[in-house]
Amino acid sequence: MPFGEVVCGAPGSGKSTYCYGKYQLFTALNRPVAVVNLDPANDNIPYPCAVDISSLITLENVMETHGLGPNGGMLYCMEYLEANFDWLEERLKELGSDIYVLFDLPGQVELSTNHDSIKHIMDKLTKSGYRLAAVHLCDAHYITDASKYISVLLLSLRAMLHLELPHINVLSKVDLLSQYGELEFNLDFYTEVQDLSYLENSLNASLPPKYAALNMAMISLVEDYSLVGFETLAVEDKNSMMHLMHAIDRANGYVFVPPPDAPAPPGTIDESGAPPSRRPNMMGLFSTAAGPLRDPGSDVRDIQERWVDYKDIYDAHEKKEWRKEGEMLRDAAARSSASKIRERKP
C-alpha cells in the first residue's frame, strides 16, 4: 500500500525546497522515498527526481506548438497528463509498492482550486491504492498583512474543498517571519484561525469603506466552514520537519500501518479465537496514534519564541552548540587516529 503526499501551493511558497528537504529527511531515517515532478516548467529541480513529467511533455514545447501563454500551456500540460495517465501509472509501478511518493505540483493555484485535471489524476491514484494527503504550502509572510491573510485562508479553503484529500495547510518559511516586523497578534492566532473578527479594523483601514461588508462576508465564510488551520515549517530545522512529518503521517494513515518487514510485537495473539478480554484494545491503539502531537515543534508558542521573538538569541546559541559539537568530533577523530598509530608500533 503506497503512501504519499501532494505538495501544492502558490509560486515561491517553497514546494521544491520542501520536497528536497523531505527527501533528505527520509533518506536519513531510512524510509524509502521518491519525488515525482509534475511541473513541466520546472527545469531547475534540486532533488533526485524519480519521475519527471518533462520526459512526457514540456511547457516550452506546448507554448511553441499551440501558441499558448504560460497559464494556458500549463493547463494543457495537465490535461495531457490526465489523458496519458497510464504513462504515470507505469512509472509509479516501477518504484514499488512500499515507497513513499512526493508529488511536486506546479505553482499555478488554479490547478488545485478550480481546474479538474489534478483532481482527476489524484482520484485515479487513490483508486489504484495510493493513500495520499494534500500539503498546501503558503508563505508565512502573508500573515503580516490582514488582507493577504484572508486571501490565504480563502485559497486554502478552496483547495481543501476542491482536492477532497486529507489536507495539511502549512505556513512555510516561518524562520524568515521576523524580517517583516512584529505581528499584530500572536502566531497561534494565525495558525489556529481564531476569531477573525479581530481583523476587521485592519481590513477596513487598508481598504475603502465600501468593502467593509465584503470583508465581514469573507470572514464569515471562513469561520462558517471552520476547516482551515495551519502547521508551520522551517525547512532547515529538523524539529520543524519532524513535526510536520508526523502530522502528515497521521493525515494519510501511514502512522497506523507498520512497515512490511516489521515483526509481530511480543505477546501478539490471534484475535479470531481469543476471548474479548484478551483481544487487543484497538480503540486504545488508534487513540494513542491519533492523539495530540507532543514532539518538539508541536507547540506554536515555542515556535513563536524560536523564530519570531528571540530568533537572534536562538541562532547564536545553535551556532555555539554546533561549534562545540564540531570540536568534539574533531577531538574524537584525533584520538582515534592517535590510538591506531600506537597500535601499529611494534
Tens digit of each residue's pLDDT (9 = 90 or more) over 64-116: 999 999 999 999 999 999 999 999 999 999 998 889 999 999 999 999 999 99
57-to-80, 118, 228 alpha-carbon distances in Å: 8, 15, 34
* pLDDT for 275: 63
* pLDDT for 333: 86
Q: Are 5 and 132 in contact (CB under 8 A)?
A: yes
* pLDDT for 284: 58
Amino acid at 34: A
Residues 219-269 have pLDDT tens digits of 999 999 999 999 999 999 999 999 999 999 999 988 887 766 666 666 665
- End-to-end CA, the chain: 59
Q: Which of 106, 86, 97, 87 is nearest to 43 (CA)?
A: 106
* pLDDT for 100: 94
* pLDDT for 247: 93
Give percent helix, percent strand, percent coil of the chain, each to the nearest 5.
60, 10, 30
* pLDDT for 37: 95
What's the distance, CA 174 to chain centroid?
A: 13
* pLDDT for 259: 65
DSSP letters, 113-144, are HT-SHHHHHHHHHHHTT-EEEEEEEEEGGGGG
For residue 34, the cross-strand partners are: 101
Q: How far apart are CA 119 and CA 221, in angstroms?
A: 23
* pLDDT for 70: 92
* pLDDT for 257: 78
* pLDDT for 50: 94
Residues 276-305 have pLDDT tens digits of 555 555 555 666 666 777 777 778 999 999
For residue 4, the cross-strand partners are: 101, 132
For residue 168, the cross-strand partners are: 135
Residues 193-214 have pLDDT tens digits of 988 989 988 888 888 888 889 9
123-to-6, 128, 157 alpha-carbon distances in Å: 12, 9, 19
Cell digits of residue 11: 509560486
On average, the pLDDT of the chain sits at: 88
* pLDDT for 343: 62
Q: What is the CA radius of gyration of the chain?
A: 24
Q: Is the pLDDT of residue 143 over 80?
A: yes
Cell digits of residue 59: 511547457
Angle at 7 between CA 180 and CA 103, to 5 degrees: 150
Amino acid at 237: D
Cell digits of residue 124: 485515479
Q: How far apart are CA 302 and CA 66, in angstroms?
A: 52
| Other CB atoms within 10 A of residue 62 CB | 21
Q: Which of 78, 224, 140, 238 is nearest to 70 (CA)?
A: 78
Q: Are 74 and 41 in contact (CB under 8 A)?
A: yes
User: Where residue 325 falls among pLDDT bands split at 50, 70, 90?
Assistant: confident
* pLDDT for 272: 60
Q: How far apart are CA 283 and CA 285, in angstroms?
A: 5
- Judged by average pLDDT, the poorest of 45-49, 52-56, 227-231, 331-335 is 331-335
pTM score: 0.87
Q: Between residues 337 and 20, which one has the greater pLDDT?
A: 20
- Percent of the chain scored above 90 by pLDDT? 64
User: Where residue 21 falls among pLDDT bands split at 50, 70, 90?
Assistant: very high
